[in-house]
Structure formats: C-alpha cells, structure tokens
Structure 1
Amino acid sequence: MSELILLNKPYGVICQFSDHPLHPTLKSCVPIAGVYPAGRLDTDSEGLLLLTGDGELQHRIADPRWKQPKTYWVQVEGRPREEQLQALRDGVDLGDFITQPAEVRLLPEAPALWERKPPVRFRKTVPDAWLEIIISEGKNRQVRRMTAKVGLPTLRLVRVAIGPWRLDDLQPGMLRSIEVSLADLPRPRHAKPAAPAAAGKPREPAAAKAAASAAPRFRFAKK
C-alpha cells in the first residue's frame, strides 16, 4: 500500500515546492518531506491536488495514457446555450490541438463552496453560470481555453475529483491521507501499462524535499 495525500489547493498557490518570487508554494500547506504532485493545477485554479512519495503511483496518476478523468466545477460568464455546451462535448479546436470529447452539464445552481480570496470580480450587467466539465486530458489551461473558445470565459475553476478521489469536505489548505494499492487503481480499457519510474521516486528537485521539511504546521481534515 502507498500513501496518497489529497490537498485542497488554495487559489494563488503555485504547484511547486521551490520558492517563487510572486506566489506562495506547496510548502505553505504541505510540510511533508518526500511527497510530490501527481499532476498539476494552475495557480489561479483551486481544488483537488494529489501528492505521493511513491514514484510508480505518481506516474500512474499523472501519465495521460492512463486517462484518469478530472472533474471541474467551472463558473463562466454568460448564460450558456445548448450549442455552446455541445461544442465543449464534441471537442474544441484550440489551434495547437483539438480537445477530446468532454462530459459537460449545466449545474442547476451554484455549488456550496468556500469563499474565494480574493473574490471573483463580477460584472453586474452580465449573468454567470456553473458548469461541470469532465475531461481525461490535462493540457496547460485547457478548461479555461475551452470555455473561452465557445464564448464562455471562466471566472472561477475548482477541481473536485481526479479518478476515484474526490475533494468532498476538504477546505482550502487542508489535507487528507489515504492508503492506495496500485492493484486497485482503475485500468482504462484502451490504456497500456507504462513502465514504473526508474528510481521508484517521483521526479522532483532534491531542494524541494528540504524546503518541504522546513514548512509550517498544517491541518489534516477529519476522516
């Protein structure tokens, strides 16, 4: 069994442990030596980020060939029309690539989330709505680019699930530790097993480990 850390990454935190001149880093909320992100989440996005010290587990989660579905709640500017939602479902031509088909639905009401700091800037004359978008890719700023392309700019983006792991009641900056067996991970029908990481450890600069061990205390969510 391997340890998997579920973090609710706050808005404005950059997904790295090494110091950054403009943004707080993961060491501000994950002072655990030897764990590294399995995938990334944009600095201006919030929600679920997975971390582990097991290189093979990190690879299985982060490698796009395993196609772990990622679920986002996305606040967009404007009132979505059905043709805009269908365009997201069909795949969007972003110029450098065409996105794979996505699962998209209009949420009937705004989800019960924590208050973002800083708050989202609204235009009083323009309505907004919340979408649930599930993709199996994870290219740079993909969801934001998708919604912008169909005329629905993203105001707020929260990742609530990666594969079988969900954010649930984790608040920003909080962690939950669980044990995971590689044998229990979902095996997509068309995915080919990839070789485990060479050294059995995630790829991260050695300085990150030292930085993480010196970070302040943190809060674990109640199981």
Structure 2
Amino acid sequence: MQHRHFLIHKPHGYLSQFIYEKKRHKKLLGELYDFPEGTMAIGRLDEDSEGLLLLTTDGMMSEIVRSKTVEKEYYAQVDGVITAEAIARLQTGVEIGFKGIRYTTKHCEAGILNELPDYIGEGRRIRDERHGPTSWLSITLTEGKFRQVRKMTAAVGFPTLRLVRVRVGTISLQNLKAGAVREVEHFSLPGAL
C-alpha cells in the first residue's frame, strides 16, 4: 500500500483529530480537507494552538516524528515584555507539572523574536494594547509533554497568549496559510524513509 502524507497549517479552534465523541460540537481536521481513510495526526496541537501539523496514513511515521531527535520549533506570544533572564531560564530548563508530578524540562533553544514572518498571519485577536504589552519568542524543543510550551512560559512569569508551531525537523510552515493542506510525497526527517 502506498502511504500518503500531508502538511497542514492547523488554525486556532480545531482539534488535532478526526473523531470527537463527546456531545459538544468541535471543529475537526476532516472539515479542512478530504483526507483518505486511515489518516492520522502525528503528535498534537491543542485546540488553542495553531501551526504545522503532519498527517499520514503510515503509523510508523509517528514514532519517528515523536522521537527525541526531531526538533519542534514554536513561536509564542507571551503576556508582557519577556526578559533575558526568563529566556535564559527557558534555555536551561524549568520545572513544570506533568501527569501530577514535577518535571524539569530539557535544555532547549529560546530567543526573542523581533519580527514575525507573514505566514503566521493575524490569527485570532488576543487583546488590544490597553491590556499591556506582549512579546514573541521562539522555542525549539526535542521533547513534547502535554501543553509544555505554555507551562514553560508560565513558569518563568510570561503566560502564553498565542502559540504557533512553525517547524518539525526540516519541515517548515513557510508558505502555508492557516487552514491550508498540502500533500507531500514523503517527510524529509531524520530516520524517515
């Protein structure tokens, strides 16, 4: 069987799944594109997060992408003007809660973003200037605990207001607008065939 692979720029408000069995209606990935049967999201972005999501009909790809060798880069808009001290703390690891226990995150790359690329788009309106300043930073991880980036920025005193995954390994969100889907022949990732 020939597997199929897709890149999607998941908009805010969508779940990273195709089936939702609770009573309240949620927006699902299948509403954005007619994916073939057996398509699954590799990893997840929570409903409030946006950005690059990889989908495939090949279950083995999930293990490769979720491995600790594949970097995931996020742009986070945070509440307040983030400090160099907070960035340094993010880089060296911070303590967060995960499954009821305390966990110290691994070293990561983090830095202030002075300018956002166009493909990030406006996104949903977070708030206006009356509520104080915000800033953007880039965080690159090789791990992915539940809501990790949000927990990390909150741990250093700068809660995340908007979160966009912009890169998985060498695959970038570049030139993919919110809601767009692109089928690709294969994923160019370490360990992928």
Q: What's the TM-score bracket when you normalise by the shorter of the two chains?
A: 0.7 to 0.9
In the alignment, the residues of structure 1 paired with residue 19 and residue 54 of structure 2 have an alpha-carbon distance, to the nearest angstrom, of 17
Contact 2:94 2:152 in 1 (8 A): yes
Distance 2:117 2:140 in 1: 16
Change over 3 Å in CA distance of 1:125–1:40 after alignment to 2: closer
Q: Is the CA contact (8 Å cut-off) linking 2:69 and 2:190 kept in structure 1?
A: no
Give aligned pairs, total: 183
Deviations along 1:107-162, whole A, 9 cap, x unmatched? 12344332223x11245252111101100111111000100110111111100110
Bigger-Rg structure (1/2): 1
Offset, 1:61: 1.5
Distance in 1 between residues matched to 2:86 and 2:128, nearest whole Å = 21
Counterpart selection for 1:73 from 51, 72, 75:
75
Corresponding position of 1:192:
none
**Where does residue 10 of structure 2 map in the other structure?**
9
TM-score, with structure 2 as normaliser? 0.87
Task: Give the aligned residue type for 2:176.
Answer: L
Does residue 133 (structure 1) correspond to residue 134 (structure 2)? The answer is no
Cα distance in structure 2, aligned partners of 1:137 and 1:123: 33
SS of match in other structure, 1:41: coil
* Counterpart among 89, 96, 105 of residue 111 in structure 2: 105
Alignment RMSD (CA, Å) = 2.0
In the alignment, does 2:175 pair up with 1:172?
no
1:58 alignment partner AA:
S
Corresponding residue to 1:115 among 122, 129, 134: 122
Unaligned runs of 5+ in 1: 188-223
| Alpha-carbon shift at residue 58 of structure 1 (Å) | 2.6
Q: Distance in 1 between matches of 2:47 and 2:61?
A: 24
Matched to 2:16, the amino acid is C
Asked if 2 retains the 8 angstrom alpha-carbon contact of 1:110 and 1:129, the reply is no
Identity %: 40
In the aligned structure 2, how far is the partner of 1:115 from the partner of 1:154?
Answer: 16
Moved >6 Å (runs of 4+): none
**Are residues 1:30 and 2:49 paired?**
no
